[in-house]
Amino acid sequence: MQQLIDSLRSIGEPTRLRVLALLAHGELAVGELVQILRLSQPRLSRHMKFLTAAGLVERLPEGAWVFYRLPSSGTGRALVDSVLSFVSPDDPEVVRDRENLNHVRAARKTAAEDYFNRTAESWDDVRGHHYPADDVESALLKAAGQKSYNYMVDFGTGTGRMISLFKDRFERAEGIDLSHKMLTIARSNLQTDDVPGASVRFGDVIASPFDDGIADLVTIHQVLHYMDQPGRVVTEAARVLKPGGRLMIVDFAPHRNEFLRNEHEHRHLGFEARELENWLVASGLKPYQPITLESQHQSGLAVTIWTADKLPKIGENAA
Cα–Cα distance, 139 to 169 (Å, whole number): 15
pLDDT at 318: 53
Report the range of poorest mean pLDDT among 57-66, 130-139, 203-212, 263-272: 130-139
pLDDT at 317: 57
Q: Which residue has the higher pLDDT, 286 or 63?
A: 286
CA-only gyration radius of the chain, Å: 21
Task: Kindly state whether residues 142 and 233 are assigned to the same domain.
Answer: yes
Whether residue 93 is contained in a domain is answered as no
Question: Where residue 125 falls among pLDDT bands split at 50, 70, 90?
Answer: low
Mean of pLDDT values over 56-61: 93
pLDDT at 312: 85
pTM score above 0.85? no
Mean of pLDDT values over 57-72: 91
Q: Which residue has the higher pLDDT, 123 or 254?
A: 254
pLDDT at 156: 96
Which helix H or strand E contains 279, and what residues bound it? Answer: helix 273-282
Question: Where residue 73 falls among pLDDT bands split at 50, 70, 90?
Answer: confident
Residue 127 has pLDDT above 70, yes or no: no
pLDDT at 236: 98
Whether residue 112 is contained in a domain is answered as no
Q: Which residue has the higher pLDDT, 158 or 314?
A: 158
What backbone torsions phi and psi does residue 270 show, to the nearest 5 degrees? 80, 180
Task: Kindly state whether residues 59 and 146 are assigned to the same domain.
Answer: no
Cα–Cα distance, 220 to 71 (Å, whole number): 25
Task: Kindly state whether residues 34 and 132 are assigned to the same domain.
Answer: no
Domain end position, chosen among 87, 108, 138: 87
Do residues 304 and 231 touch, judged by C-beta distance below 8 A? no
Starting at the earlier edge strand, list the strands of the sheet with 58-62.
28-29, 65-69, 58-62
pLDDT at 301: 87
Do residues 235 and 253 touch, judged by C-beta distance below 8 A? no
* CB-based contacts of 131-135 (< 8 A; 24+ apart in sequence): 131/252, 131/293, 131/295, 131/300, 131/301, 131/302, 131/303, 132/293, 132/295, 132/296, 132/300, 132/303, 135/293
Q: CATH number of the domain that 29 lies in?
A: 1.10.10.10
Q: Coil, strand, or helix at residue 201?
A: strand
Mean of pLDDT values over 73-80: 90
pLDDT, averaged across the chain = 90
Q: Are strands 291-293 and 303-310 parallel, antiparallel or unpaired?
A: antiparallel
Residue 314 has pLDDT above 70, yes or no: no
Q: CATH number of the domain that 285 lies in?
A: 3.40.50.150
Closest CA to 10 of 54, 40, 66, 58: 54
Task: Kindly state whether residues 79 and 145 are assigned to the same domain.
Answer: no
Task: Kindly state whether residues 138 and 203 are assigned to the same domain.
Answer: yes
Return the bridge partners of 68, or none. Answer: 28, 59
Task: Kindly state whether residues 44 and 147 are assigned to the same domain.
Answer: no
Which helix H or strand E contains 308, and what residues bound it? Answer: strand 303-310
Residue 67 has pLDDT above 70, yes or no: yes
Residue 131 has pLDDT above 70, yes or no: no
Task: Kindly state whether residues 159 and 306 are assigned to the same domain.
Answer: yes
Query: What is the number of structural domains in the chain?
Result: 2
pLDDT at 163: 97
Give the pLDDT confidence of 26-35 residue by residue, as tens digits.
999 999 999 9
Q: Which residue has the higher pLDDT, 72 or 91?
A: 91
Cα–Cα distance, 103 to 99 (Å, whole number): 6
Task: Kindly state whether residues 58 and 170 are assigned to the same domain.
Answer: no
Residue 199 has pLDDT above 80, yes or no: yes
In the chain, count H helices and then E strands: 13, 11
Task: Kindly state whether residues 168 and 235 are assigned to the same domain.
Answer: yes
Residue 161 has pLDDT above 90, yes or no: yes
Mean of pLDDT values over 6-24: 90
Question: Where residue 220 falls among pLDDT bands split at 50, 70, 90?
Answer: very high
Mean of pLDDT values over 9-23: 92
Give the pLDDT confidence of 174-183 residue by residue, as tens digits.
999 999 999 9
Residue 218 has pLDDT above 90, yes or no: yes
Residues spanned by the domain of 227 = 122-310
Question: Where residue 46 falls among pLDDT bands split at 50, 70, 90?
Answer: very high
Burial class of 248 by CB neighbour count within 10 A (0 to 12, 13 to 18, 19+)? buried
3-state secondary structure 105-155: HHHHHHHHHHHHHHHHHHHHHHHHCCCCHHHHHHHHHHHHCCCCEEEEEEE
